[in-house]
Amino acid sequence: MTLTRRDFSRLAGLATASAFVPSAHGQTGQHPIGWCVVGLGRISMDHFMPGVKLSQKGKIVALVSGHRDKAEKQATLYGVSQSAIYNYDNMDAIRDNKEIDAVYIALPNSMHAEYTIRSAKAGKHVLCEKPMATSVADAKAMIEASKAANRKLMIAYRCQFDPLHIKAIEMIRSGQLGQIQGIESAFGFNIQPGEWRLDRKLAGGGPLMDVGIYCLNASRYLTGEEPQEIKAYSSVIDHDGRFNTVEENVSWTMKFPSGIVAACNTTYGGNMNGYFRVHGAKGAIEMLPAFNYDGMHLAGQIGRDQKIDELSPVREPMEFTRQADHFADCVWNDRTPKTPGEEGLRDMELMSEIYQAAGLPGL
């Protein structure tokens, strides 16, 4: 997806008309958060940066990239000064750029820890993409560095800010579905050869680290519990050279303290449209798709008479707007983010357990 200035004008009009547009920053008396984007790939250029463009609480003020020509094009599009374009070697100089309040890390997984720690040491708050890191030790180091610098660290679990995900949680918490008995969730796709995600050194693992983490995180926030028992299986079915260092499939179950069992699947070998399904004593709900950038659909039945059939009003790239605006509020008001580093660390620990239960090396 390549956005032109005309596209941005259209999106801005959409934002103005939407009931989900964040409140103007003028109401807070604060200046917009200045974002430095580290890594110019698909998720940053096609999703996060357009999301910030719609925001009234933030703006793109700096870029870090190993490709100067690409960075210059993005700088022109977002009004970033040429002097605010950095490379990976001189990135530490962001400490001297007072326009930068926060850094968005959109690099391959193995680079998350290094650049989060460098950003924190430069005195900047950090919003880091998931998975948080490629090892539990690195995740802990990221948290420690942010605390030492007295900076915020948030992990980009955007689904936790989606109104339909929030509604599903509220329905479960309020008892509308009765006692929850089980959860099912899956997410996967048929990955193309040559993707960096197929290199364990860069990705840390296969589909579990990339898209399976959505199922893991959803099971945790839907139940509001932490799993106490995990069983898992892993397999490589397509011996075509793609899966020499990472798994192709992972399936796992998690038993929670209440007795709820979640059954999850993830793959790089075929298309699994991400979903979750929650079964309760009084009814059931399903979100399909559940983890897309927009178009989430919540459906279900409670008792004989109550049907649920709702489509999320949030449109791409506004999930990223909501996420960035939450972070801005946390910075302005000195609040802990909804999805802090500790949330990312917990998923890292659990993914390590899943790998070990499947007979693979832990993280």
pLDDT tens per residue across span 171-223: 999 999 999 999 999 999 999 999 999 999 999 999 999 999 999 999 999 99
Q: Band of the pLDDT at 21, cuts 50, 70, 90?
A: very low
What secondary structure letter does DSSP report for 22? Answer: P
* Strands (DSSP E) found in 191-260: 229-235, 249-255
Are residues 238 and 278 located together in one domain of the fold?
A: yes
Q: Which of 157, 187, 206 represents a domain boundary (last residue)?
A: 157
Specify the pLDDT at position 8: 37
pLDDT (tens digit per residue) in 29-74: 588 999 999 999 999 999 999 999 999 999 999 999 999 999 999 9
User: Which one of the listed residues 104, 115, 157, 214 is annotated catalytic?
Assistant: 214
Are residues 57 and 127 located together in one domain of the fold?
A: yes
Residue with tokens 């399909």: 288
pLDDT (tens digit per residue) in 251-310: 999 999 999 999 999 999 999 999 999 999 999 999 999 999 999 999 999 998 899 999
Are residues 107 and 199 located together in one domain of the fold?
A: no
User: Quick check: 1 pLDDT over 60?
Assistant: no
Assigned domain for 346 exists: no
Q: Which structural domain range is residue 183 located in?
A: 163-313
Quick check: 262 and 279 in contact, CB under 8 A?
no
Q: How far apart are CA 91 and CA 348, in angstroms?
A: 27
Helix axis angle, 341-357 relative to 213-223, nearest 10°?
Answer: 110
User: Which one of the listed residues 53, 130, 140, 152 is annotated catalytic?
Assistant: 130
Specify the pLDDT at position 96: 98
Assigned domain for 181 exists: yes
Are residues 121 and 185 located together in one domain of the fold?
A: no
Is 98 in the active site?
no
Specify the pLDDT at position 29: 58
Tell me which amino acid residue 353 is.
E
pTM: 0.91
Quick check: 217 and 250 in contact, CB under 8 A?
no
Is 130 in the active site?
yes
Q: Which of 101, 127, 157 represents a domain boundary (last residue)?
A: 157
